[in-house]
Structure 1
Amino acid sequence: MSVKLAKGVNLHILPTKKYKTVRILIRFNTLLDRRTITKRTLLSSLLETNSLNYPDQTQISERLAEMYGASFGFNVNKKGNLHWLNLSMSIVNDNYLNQSHVLEEAVAFIKEILFAPHIVEGHFDQETFDREKENTGAYIESVMEDKQAYAALSLQNLYFDESDAQKIPSFGTLEDLKKETSRTIADYYYEMMAKDQIDIFILGDVEEEMTAKLIAELPFTEREAGVGEVFYHHTIDNVIKERSEREELAQSKLNIAYDTNVFYGEASYFALQVFNGLFGGFPHSKLFMNVREKENLAYYASSSLDTFRGMLTVQTGIDGKNREKVLHLIAKELENIRKGEVSEEELQQTKAMLKNQYLLSLDNAGSVLEGAYMDFLLPETVLEPEEWLRRLEAVTLKEIQKVANQVKMQAIFFLEGEQKNG
């Protein structure tokens, strides 16, 4: 059941008896913009930790405990050209309790959090703001201190150098965080509440009409519907971008980015999935078996896809002196797939792993919600499970070779580890 609550505000109710809990997802969706990414991250922390009537985290925790241990939180992420700020809540199903109204209480709690933030005289409570700004800064620093994450983000920065918004992390930067004040974030809160497209998803054993009536009480106003093109198309460069850095590390990181020119929902999507599984997506893949196991040249070696930006990345942890050997071996494994040097066993094992992943996702509440969102955002890509599995099974070696042949290397980031002296 989908209901338009106001222009640009949609409710989607997914009734199911599969889960003992009811999941609520409210997604604020806007175009990715360097000027607002960090604002949204800091705002999500401020909304999660307090409100006017729950001025500290302790009071929020106590209220959640009263709702039979409900869980609640905010996060941000990006998908192609879009930036999402998400409110998630999980509550016990009222059907398992006597004389309870947990869903009703949860909606009232969400209303308090979203529509009564701790803003006084046009700015967020200063003490709270200072603490959350410091916490957000500490979080960004902690991610950058994780060298595997740092290498992945540095590769992204190098690969997307034509787009200021695409090249920075979904949570923003310390540089942009420093500019924010309790007033600028309050101003942005009002802008987001007025302009973002909003989709509300309810998953669980709920009565649809009653639930729709409850959610309709949230006082969202009308806004422009739709947010623009979701897919980001990278400008292919004939020159491979390279950057190297040195740090005191026991293990060097060699990360590579490729343009695939294949996007979610396209005809070649399934062939790309199988290609990635064969190349580096699974423990039986060529990168894992040959670069890591057989040649013993990597501590880890894998590949992953971003089908909303047409991107494939390879991540490896290596001994720095083996950089050229590893690059050569990765290129060789890609070439082997291009030539069709894939055994029937490798092909069937990869399809079986992808099938298993997909079937598990159908039982995972978070995956079900994300799937429902994508179905709403891109209705032309909707597939029934039987059709999804049929298309996966139908992928041929020739289709995999075709995908492999259009994969183009675009960027190499190398974080070289140096041993400490003495």
Structure 2
Amino acid sequence: MKVRHDNLKIDKQKNDLHIKVMPTTKFKTTTITFKFMAPLDNETMTSRSILSKLLVRATKQWPTDKAFTRHLSQLYGAYVNSFVSKFKDKHVITISLELVNERYLKDQTPLFEKGLELFREILCNPLVSNECFDETFVAQEKSLLTKKLEAMVDNKSQISFLNLLKYMFGDQPYRHLATGQVAYISDVTPESLYHTYQSMLQDDYCAVYVVGNVDEEAVQSQIRTYFELKPKQFKLSQVTAAQQGHNLPQEIVEEDEVDQAKLNMGFKFPAQYGDPQYFAIVVFNIMFGGDPSSVLFNEVREKQSLAYSIHSQIDAKNGYMFVLSGVSADKYETAKDTIISEFEKFQKGEFDNDKLELAKKVIISQRQESQDRPKSIIEILNNNILLEEDMSESSYIGGIQQVSREDVIALAQETILDTIYILTKGGSNS
């Protein structure tokens, strides 16, 4: 598996759009997805988040929620959704349309073409007048996002994870949610959103994916006909832990009104998606805390009853692992020491081979299950943007199966515990 380097052009087809079609008879629906990718930037993430919702609410042809919904129902209950996410060092707006495949209808309505027409309307003819988005819709989406982000203040698990990222990554935009920040919402106007929209169309790297029982060449041709999208280069920059000056690991303890302490840890891997050690990262995570069969789940939660909840999750594209747990306020020191001790056992090779084999089976099973969901297939296809050569399913499964005991030990020995963040019960002044 070869990773791309920062200065390489990404698309294999020079000066061409990134359109990937996966013909399959597994589904009676066809899913069309556009992904617009821009650099992660504090100044633009919130605006892009609001824009993503506006685009799938109304267009010039269907200028109200009701008209838009009625049109979807006329397309045999087509479904449109949008969301924002972080991908490597990019902020991504994903817009998807799922519609019934016309091959399975009694009448021969050209549903796929009607779907493309709808998508073209969403992207090219949003509800804009005088270079401003509709004021009412903008106000509604700003209000909805404000409520959503403010509600997170009460979600101590979410806040403590964001605090871990804050201390680990400093001022880098990677530390923030892709949905944006409350502080920037008031700056968003119908006019500024139009500029955000124009930037999305003109500057973003755009990838298009289609999954369903379709003809690959015909679909490629249709997308080029319907959409005037200019080919772009996909360029990467590195996401790094910003706080380089601190001792490792740095430990931060903060107080709040919490029922249980939140104990979170951030680890830095020596590798990331596209590197030879990538498969060892995936296997190690499942063995360590990424599955109910993991050591953290069994040792910290089940055997020692130190945690109400505990798991590890990875951002393999950037080479990070996060351990997130809820523990009794009076036990967080013991829990912390136990997690570190379990990690050190991997570094010493103190784990059973059957745990390694079980982790591989879990990962391969999860991967095979993901092939039953069009959205998961599209996310997997999208990961190939980061590689010089697309990774096939057999390559992925083969890579997992080949991970050896020595690979896991070597990875653990090179993995660094960067930040420990604890949110616990405070005194009377908290």
Q: Normalising TM by the smaller chain, what interval? A: over 0.9
What pairs up with 1:50-65 in 2 under 5 angstroms? 50-65=58-73
Contact 1:23-1:202 within 8 A present in 2 as well: yes
Q: Give distance in 2, aligned partners of 1:351 and 1:419.
A: 46
Distance 1:17 1:326, change over 3 A: same
Distance 1:210 1:349, change over 3 A: closer
Structure 1 unaligned segments of length 5 or more: list them: none
Q: 2:306 matched to 1:297?
A: yes
- Corresponding residue for 1:25? 33
Q: CA deviation at 1:232?
A: 2.4
Q: CA deviation at 1:133?
A: 0.9
Q: CA deviation at 1:329?
A: 0.4
Distance 1:100 1:384, change over 3 A: same
What pairs up with 1:7-406 in 2 under 5 angstroms? 9-97=17-105, 98-163=107-172, 165-222=173-230, 225-229=232-236, 231-234=238-241, 236-239=244-247, 240-380=249-389, 382-406=390-414
Q: CA deviation at 1:264?
A: 0.5
Q: Give distance in 1, aligned partners of 2:204 and 2:63.
A: 25
Contact 1:241-1:412 within 8 A present in 2 as well: yes
Q: CA deviation at 1:379?
A: 3.1
Residue identity over aligned pairs, in percent, reads: 27
Q: CA deviation at 1:5?
A: 11
Q: Give distance in 1, aligned partners of 2:296 and 2:413.
A: 17
Q: CA deviation at 1:8?
A: 6.4
Specify the SS of the correspondent of 1:410: strand
RMSD between superposed Cα atoms in Å: 2.3
Structure 2 unaligned segments of length 5 or more: list them: 1-10
Q: Give distance in 2, aligned partners of 1:198 and 1:21.
A: 23
What are the Cα deviations for residues 330-354 of structure 1, in whole angstroms up to 9, with x where unaligned? 1110111111111122122112111
Q: CA deviation at 1:303?
A: 0.8
For normalisation by structure 2, the TM-score amounts to 0.91
Q: CA deviation at 1:162?
A: 4.8
What is the one-letter code of the residue matched to 2:420?
Answer: I
Distance 1:144 1:52, change over 3 A: farther
What are the Cα deviations for residues 103-137 of structure 1, in whole angstroms up to 9, with x where unaligned? 11111111111111111112111112111111111
Q: CA deviation at 1:44?
A: 0.7
For normalisation by structure 1, the TM-score amounts to 0.93
Distance 1:374 1:171, change over 3 A: same
Contact 1:261-1:311 within 8 A present in 2 as well: no
Q: Give distance in 2, aligned partners of 1:339 and 1:394.
A: 20
Q: Give distance in 1, aligned partners of 2:29 and 2:374.
A: 10
What is the one-letter code of the residue matched to 1:370?
Answer: E
Q: CA deviation at 1:4?
A: 10
Specify the SS of the correspondent of 1:263: coil
Contact 1:243-1:414 within 8 A present in 2 as well: yes
